[in-house]
Chain A
């Protein structure tokens, strides 16, 4: 028999840790650290946050009605034109100027941003839901795979912009009667953008699910009697989250651009309802006299989309474990 072991063995001096151990690092902390290194993505995320807050809180801070006609103060130039052109019609109460009907441009930009961002977010989320569902179904249920992927291929070979134009002009009237002029258009544009943009997400998700479902942890989950629904919810979806997030940012950018393009071509929201694309389209007629009416909404669209694209770029790097930590 050996000596009885001491209840509390004294640690070897040389192997003892100098200070307290670092708390364990989680995956999301790693992601955040990598994300912070990408300057463009930080800037993009910051700007997106800023513009979202601006359009959300803007109407409370700048309490001018975007629709109010003020015909005496029509065609005011923005306040900074006074810097080089002292004779220009400007007013401190209308810092971004007014349009040909005297509507305040700053309030219109905020209002238009609300619409554009709402359409972008709603269309992106809807298209993600469709794409993820189709992708998971195709990857997980073998019988559905062939059919669903054929369907995806078919949708991919549809001419998107012509079809969007066709669908919007055709269904404008019935949906307006059902949901009101603005609500109907919102439902229509969001629905149509979502229906025509879910295919890339579905393909990526299907590919990842096909690879994941052969892994041991799925086998283990199945062996303890987990239902297929729980397997998808608990084990598969969290693992495909990163490609979904990256395609979400791309989806947001395309949705905003598509909505503006539709408004620009004159098939978007009703004429008294400002969106960025619509403001730009209305201003093109008189852009020689009032160039700021073209470039203010144009810059708003471009900067938002640019920041979303940079955000997506940074997210892709941060969520890819092969790049992370290098």
Chain B
């Protein structure tokens, strides 16, 4: 198991390098010029110097190498410095001072390090997306279990229909629909997610929960639809097995049979699906963040794209790729750990 994990980890490195190379070369083809907004009165040789300062003048391979060094060598140094210097968790360690003012990945829009902006934006995305995922799973599991236990009942049929709808209605439609119903007609929740809102007492906590409900509902609908389908199918596979009959024949109560025997075995594929779906949830959050004006990393990606801010786009897309590779790895390892029948070596 350990050798498998290590092998997969090592294999992930060339995969990520290749993906980053593909994204970088794609961005090299971009027709946009970062100097397009500079006034025409600026002489061409000055423009050339400005271009050099942004690091655009070099050949693509040199630029790619420099980006790699910045992301994998300089940014970790900054991060370790931050950890040992000002974080509460590891602040007791001596200050490392690894970062010696080398050039970090700089955004063309704001002229500040890309990673600083990403760190600012990630909590909003994590709060909304992470909360939605947890809520979705918590709703989906009981639905899946019960509709498998009472297969073809009214509950199961309507559950199937609702999950089909959850699959089919895109988030950019449910978002505006929920806004019209809940914030325009009923006036219960705000339609825009206010990220400057500070929680310091019960009233502000209540407001925070209110503004989170709509985006969480939109994202959770999709999660619920997928996970409850998997849960139902997996439960159905196990409910007809011989060991279930044995458990009933022993005189165990139905609750024990379903929740202990069947559920534990059915959770194995469902947990890997939950792990596999995490990156796609982040991808889907791009649209939801746009609808509810959450300034998370999805919204950051879109604004950076429209502003032709290539270093930002490059780094963000790479972060998404890292998430996918990482969670694929986690799913594979979890599957091996949970199911003793799976042997990887």
Contact = CB atoms under 8 A, between A and B. Distances in A.
Interface string B307-332: 00000010011001101110010000
Interface residues on B, range: 35 or more
A166 B286 contact: no
B177 A162 contact: no
Interface in A80-134: none
Contact of B317 (A159, A265, A295): A159
Contact of B167 (A153, A277, A309): A309
B169 interface: yes
Contact of A169 (B305, B316, B320): B305
Contacts of A154: 15, 18-19
Query: Which of B32, B284, B317, B328 has the most chain A CB atoms closer than 10 A to its own CB?
Result: B317
A173 B313 CA distance: 18
A162 B297 CA distance: 11
B178 to A, nearest CB: 11
A167 interface: yes
Contacts of B176: 280, 284, 287, 294, 298
B342 interface: no
Contacts of B283: 159-162
A194 interface: no
| Chain B residues touching A, majority SS | helix
A46 interface: no
Interface residues on A, range: 35 or more
A261 B285 CA distance: 12
A291 B29 CA distance: 41
B204 to A, nearest CB: 27
A186 interface: no
A189 to B, nearest CB: 16
Interface stretch (A5-13, A203-211, A236-244, A300-308): A300-308
B202 interface: no
A253 interface: yes
Contacts, number: 118
Given A157-B325, A170-B31, A305-B170, A165 B19 contact: no
| Chain A residues touching B, majority SS | helix
Contacts of A291: 180
A157 B27 contact: no
Interface in A123-178: 153-154, 156-163, 165-167, 169-171, 173-174
B172 A253 contact: no
A294 B31 contact: no
A27 interface: no
B168 interface: yes
Query: Which of A157, A169, A309 has the most chain B CB atoms closer than 10 A to its own CB?
Result: A157
A298 B284 contact: no
B165 interface: yes
9 smallest beta-carbon distances between A and B, as pairs:
A159-B320, A298-B173, A306-B168, A305-B168, A161-B283, A264-B172, A302-B169, A170-B30, A162-B317
Interface of A: 40, 153-154, 156-163, 165-167, 169-171, 173-174, 253, 257, 260-261, 264-265, 267, 277, 280-281, 284, 287-288, 291, 294-295, 298, 301-302, 305-306, 309-310, 313
Given A169-B305, A309-B167, 7 more contacts: A154-B15, A157-B328, A277-B172, A284-B176, A294-B180, A298-B177, A309-B164
9 contacts: A158-B19, A163-B26, A163-B317, A169-B305, A170-B30, A281-B172, A287-B184, A291-B180, A306-B169
